[in-house]
């Protein structure tokens, strides 16, 4: 079993459980490493100093039993100065670079908001909206200086429900693969994000299988994360993610650890040993 997760939310942002409850769940599961990654974006931004203090307190309490890292999920359109000293950064694109009046521009807020954004700014053309999303997603490294890319194809969040576009159509896959190739060339890994799957919202993980296979063929690297907003799914769908990664040709997954000197470094675990 994979005994690490780096995409973890708590009551400091939009999670249901406290930092301490997440830590206890990790200990119960026999985790070796746990990274916290509270949101910093235009709609959900934490009290950064209080968050760092609480994660640091739990790190001290569990020293020798659990390696705790203090990270952040930083949105592409948000200021990196909002999270000074973060030990790692998940670069995520939750918003379109449009400016609606009176409602969210988040692509993962609701199916109704997503359709409204598409209608108002893209004339109802979902392929045009997807292209706009991936053009912004291609900038996630330069904008956030991220350690790895979060839920790459989040634009599909409600597509199982809406069936608004064909995820195999070249009008969709073209922009997605262009963005992926650009990001892979920067050397940044991608996460396999299990969040929508382990909460029963989507059949596919992020990235979907065809994009994950393309990521492998491009020479990309992976992390596996649960995107846990509840303690109960801290390792949710890890078995599915490992299986799909192996099926797409990946042989190892990356983990983040503290070195003996206290610095954060990436290491590799063989997938067939998990």
> Mean pLDDT for each 10-residue chunk of the chain (274 residues)?
97 98 98 98 96 98 97 98 98 98 96 98 98 98 98 98 98 98 98 97 97 98 98 98 98 97 96 95
CA distance 37 to 191: 13
pLDDT digits (tens, 9 = 90+) for 139-174: 999 999 999 999 999 999 999 999 999 999 999 999
Cβ atoms of 5 and 234 closer than 8 Å: yes
Task: Give yes or no for a contact between 166 and 219, defined as CB atoms under 8 angstroms apart.
Answer: no
Contact 257, 264 (CB under 8 A): yes
- Determine the Cα–Cα distance for residues 191 and 12; give it in Å rounded to an integer: 22
In a domain, residue 16? The reply is yes
**CA separation for the pair 191, 71 (Å, rounded):** 15
Structural domain harbouring 153: 4-94+141-162+181-273
What is the pLDDT, as a whole number, of residue 107?
Answer: 97
Residue 99 belongs to a domain: no
Residue 125 lies in a domain: no
Q: Domain count of the chain?
A: 1
Name the nearest CA neighbour of 134 among 185, 96, 100, 105. Answer: 96
Instruction: Kindly state whether residue 130 falls inside one of the protein's structural domains.
Output: no
* CATH assignment of the domain containing 61: 3.20.20.140
In angstroms, the first-to-last Cα distance of the chain is 5
Q: How many residues does the chain have?
A: 274
Structural domain contains residue 260? yes
Q: What pLDDT is recorded for position 194?
A: 98
Instruction: Tell me phi and psi for residue 254, to 5 degrees.
Output: -90, 145
Chain-centre distance for alpha carbon 37:
9
Is the residue at 124 inside a domain? no
Residue 161: which residues within 8 A CB-CB, separation 6 or more? Answer: 111
* Residue 239, in any domain of the structure: yes
Q: What is the pLDDT of residue 44?
A: 93
How much is the pTM? 0.98
Distance in angstroms (rounded) separating the CA atoms of residues 172 and 44: 29
pLDDT of the residue at 123: 98
Longest CA pairwise span in the chain (Å): 56
- Contact between 8 and 22 under an 8 Å Cβ cutoff? The reply is yes
Question: Strand 33-40 and strand 222-225: pairing?
Answer: unpaired
198: in domain: yes
Residue for token pair 């200990």: 27
């Amino acid at each position: 079993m994979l005994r690490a997760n780096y995409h973890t939310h708590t009551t400091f942002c939009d999670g249901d459980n406290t930092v301490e409850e997440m830590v206890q769940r990790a200990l119960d599961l026999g985790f070796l490493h746990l990274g916290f990654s509270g949101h910093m974006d235009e709609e959900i931004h934490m009290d950064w100093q209080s968050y760092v203090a609480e994660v640091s307190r739990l790190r001290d309490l569990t020293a020798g039993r659990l390696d705790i890292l203090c990270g952040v999920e930083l949105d592409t359109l948000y200021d990196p100065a909002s999270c000074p000293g973060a030990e790692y950064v998940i670069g995520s694109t939750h918003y379109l670079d449009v400016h609606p009046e009176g409602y969210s521009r988040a692509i993962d807020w609701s199916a109704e908001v997503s359709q409204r954004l598409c209608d108002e700014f893209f004339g109802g053309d979902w392929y045009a909206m997807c292209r706009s999303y991936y053009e912004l997603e291609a900038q996630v490294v330069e904008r956030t200086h991220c350690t790895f890319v979060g839920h790459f194809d989040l634009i599909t969040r409600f597509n199982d429900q809406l069936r608004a576009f064909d995820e195999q159509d070249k009008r969709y896959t073209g922009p997605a693969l262009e963005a992926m190739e650009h990001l892979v060339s920067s050397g940044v890994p991608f996460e396999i994000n299990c969040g929508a799957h382990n909460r029963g919202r989507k059949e596919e993980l992020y990235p979907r299988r065809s994009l994950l296979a393309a990521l492998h063929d491009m020479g990309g690297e992976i992390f596996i994360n649960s995107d846990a907003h509840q303690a109960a799914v801290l390792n949710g769908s890890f078995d599915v993610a490992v299986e799909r990664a192996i099926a797409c040709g990946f042989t190892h997954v990356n983990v983040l650890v503290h070195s003996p000197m206290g610095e954060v470094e990436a290491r590799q675990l063989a997938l067939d040993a998990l």
